[in-house]
Amino acid sequence: MTFPSIFLFIQSFFGFGQTAQIDIVLDDKSTRPQIEVKDEEGHKNQLYLFLDGETVKGQVHINLKTPGKKLEHNGIKVEFLGQIEMFYDRGNHHEFTSLVRELAPPGEMTRSQTFQFEFQNVEKSHESYNGINVRLRYLLRVTIVRRLADITKELDLWVHQYSILPKINNSIKMEVGIEDCLHIEFEYSKSKYYLKDAIVGKIYFLLVRIKIKHMELAIIKRESTGTGPNVYNESETITKYEIMDGAPVRGESIPIRLFLAGFELAPTMRDINKKFSVRYYLNLVLVDEEERRYFKQQEITLWRKKEDGETAEQYLVS
């Protein structure tokens, strides 16, 4: 048996784990929107949704399992935490936000109790993110500090960050090709797209000397973790969308219209706390009759727009 499992065995044998049950309940639980989030194992959880600057307040109920039996402790506290977890470095959580409220000084609890807490106008500088190799999470943690083993309870929260309409949003327009084989000019109408936007553009063929079978546009998410020489990239194809079937000739223009609302997308995250980035790319792929692939990748910026009337909505995030 490993050390932690021996520890838990002793705990349950002596009933330490069962001594108290902690429940965290938010004051605005009936009005606050919730969001469905998939965790590491793929289970879906409903989490409360918060924005930057919003107050986090509620109650902590501590139920003593065996009434009459008192619970000795070295203090009870509730913390609001924002942390970045790297999956390859499990024990190492980087906390970028940490606030604490003392609920009770060291003493004993003789009966079940309820404590109020409030974290006013909490700054939440980043959007929550559950990724392939990294996670950014916000949580409330209640700790009953004790000599042998603390009793803790966590409540995960989810945070969205809104951006305002970008002042500058240039189109992406470029001519690329292989000398004497294939020259195309591609244009995407914007470089910054909000999550329910549409990618509108065109591909114009200047020279076609290969036998093209079809052309597709893919959205790729690339997650970079680590810094300097230890950067680790992992890419995921969000979708592949065929925009042309058949062989084009010189002078033809192929329109692009790809609606983003149907895909699981989150805003571009650049160098969050110098720990990780999540970037999105459009990958234009042409396939010829021998299955040879010619492609051009271009980064786009995704941002979250504040919709009107966004109150108790349910939408998917992974």
Partner 1 sequence: MSTARVAMNRQGVEDAYAEPMNFLEIDVLDPQTHGLGRARYTDYEIRLRTNLPVFKVQEAVVRRRYSDFEWLKNELERDSKILVPALPGKAIMKQLPLLTKDEGIFEDAFIEERRKGLEVFINKIAGHPLAQNERCLHMFLVDRRIDRNYTPGKIR
**Residue 115 CB, nearest approach to partner 1 (Å):** 47
Q: Which residues contact 36 (CB under 8 A, 6 or more apart)?
A: 44, 45, 46, 314, 315, 316, 317
Under rule CB under 8 A, residue 131 binds partner 1:
no
Which CB, 80 or 186, lies closer to partner 1?
A: 186
Binding mask 163-202 vs partner 1 (x if CB under 8 A, - otherwise)? --------x------xxxxx----x-x------xxx-xxx
C-alpha angle 134-140-141 in degrees, rounded to nearest 5:
100
Residue 115: strand pairing partners: 60
Q: Which of 65, 111, 240, 257 binds partner 1 (CB under 8 A)?
A: 257
Report the greatest alpha carbon distance in the chain. Answer: 88
Amino acid identity, residue 238? I
Under a CB-based contact definition with an 8 Å cutoff, are residues 293 and 286 in contact? yes
Q: How far is the CB of 187 from partner 1 (least distance, A)?
A: 6
d(CA 117, CA 114): 10
State the number of binding residues for partner 1 (CB under 8 A). 32
- Determine which residue in the list 7, 115, 162, 204 makes contact with partner 1, applying CB under 8 A: 204
In whole angstroms, the minimum distance from the beta carbon of 246 to partner 1 comes to: 12
Question: Which residue is associated with the tokens 């409540």?
Answer: 155
Q: Which of residues 211-240 bind partner 1 (CB under 8 A)?
A: 211
User: In sequence order, what are the residues at sequence separation of 6 or more whose Cβ sits closer than 8 angstroms to the Cβ of residue 309?
Assistant: none
Chain centroid to Cα 85, Å, comes to 12
* Residue 205 CB, nearest approach to partner 1 (Å): 9
Q: Which is nearer to partner 1, 24 or 210 (CB)?
A: 210
Q: How far is the CB of 306 from partner 1 (least distance, A)?
A: 15
Q: Which of 28, 150, 234, 252 binds partner 1 (CB under 8 A)?
A: 252
Q: Is 308 in the site for partner 1 (CB under 8 A)?
A: no
Helix ranges (H only) for the chain are 3-13
Query: Are the CB atoms for 33 and 142 separated by under 8 Å?
Result: no
- Binding stretches for partner 1 (CB under 8 A): 171, 178-182, 187, 189, 196-198, 200-202, 204, 207-211, 247, 249-253, 255, 257, 288-290, 292
